[in-house]
Amino acid sequence: MRLVLVGPPGAGKGTQAQYIASNLSIPKISTGDIFRANVSGGTDLGRLAKTYMDRGDLVPDEVTIAMVRDRLSEDDAQDGFLLDGFPRNVAQAEILRDMLKDWGQALDLVLELVVDDDEVVRRLAGRRTCSQCGRIWHVEFDDKKDDKCDACGGPLFQRDDDKEQTVRHRLEVYQEQTAPLVSYYADEGILVGVDATGPVEEVTQRAMEAIRPFMG
Ligand code: ADP
Ligand code: ADP
């Protein structure tokens, strides 16, 4: 299964990606996570990406695409993958299509996680991430009173780009650059919208129901 998740920042892509990828036994490939790992690791890629991420802008396509190409070439991605956060504009989508075509592959399905703006702002304002295992939490919805991960005990942090000013800009970037992917993939006949409101488990269930008809 070759799957892409699209949706605005805060829609729940990362949260759902961990469950969907594990249900389907495919690797979850989150470009945001790979960039953040490079930032923490102090690599050249991390230094470059950080200037864009801090502003809430997209990292340039050449850099992002090269990184995704490398990751998709790894052994564990040969029989399927779930992309979270890539592609993020039509140019990336076109290059992904050509890259997969060269390898005799194609996307099976693009799931759009649908939530309204107010919910997105609420979700991003309370997002906390575990610096040890990467799990995503929410201060209010997960009733997090301490700053510790319930899964591994690691310390939680708030992403720099989840501050209010940057969030507003990221939502504009989504509308301008990423939202056009919805009609791009609808035209290709592989887009399915999923209502991403309500409890996490219910959203996962809806996503799995949407995926089932596309499974080999
Ligand atoms: P969110 O989960 O809130 O949508 P991500 O973790 O996916 O955010 O991305 C964080 C940041 O990483 C983005 O704002 C952008 O700067 C960079 N980024 C992630 N994926 C891409 C991509 N496909 N193209 C360009 N930049 C990206
Ligand atoms: P994205 O990757 O699309 O930016 P995340 O998966 O990081 O989104 O989720 C953003 C925030 O919303 C996190 O704090 C997460 O715990 C919370 N969240 C995700 N799904 C739900 C849901 N169904 N109900 C309530 N909160 C959610």
Q: What would the pLDDT profile of 158-193 be if each residue is shown by its tens digit?
A: 999 999 889 999 999 999 999 999 999 999 999 999
Ligand approaching nearest to the C-alpha of 96? 1
| Distance in Å, CA 58 to ligand 1 centroid | 6
Q: Taking CB atoms and a 6 Å cutoff, what residues make up the pocket around ligand 1?
A: 9-10, 13-14, 31-32, 35, 52-53, 56-59, 64, 85-86, 88, 92, 161, 170
Residue 106 confidence (pLDDT) above 80 = yes
Q: Among the atoms of ligand 1, which is closest to the Cα of residue 10?
A: 3
The whole-number pLDDT of residue 146 equals 87
State whether the beta carbon of 141 lies less than 6 angstroms from ligand 2.
yes
pTM, to two decimals: 0.96
The whole-number pLDDT of residue 215 equals 87
| Distance in Å, CA 30 to ligand 1 centroid | 9
**Residues in CB range of 81: below 8 A, 6 or more apart:** 2, 3, 26, 27, 28, 29, 72
Residue 47 confidence (pLDDT) above 90 = yes
Residue 216 confidence (pLDDT) above 80 = no
Confidence of residue 144 (pLDDT cuts 50, 70, 90): confident
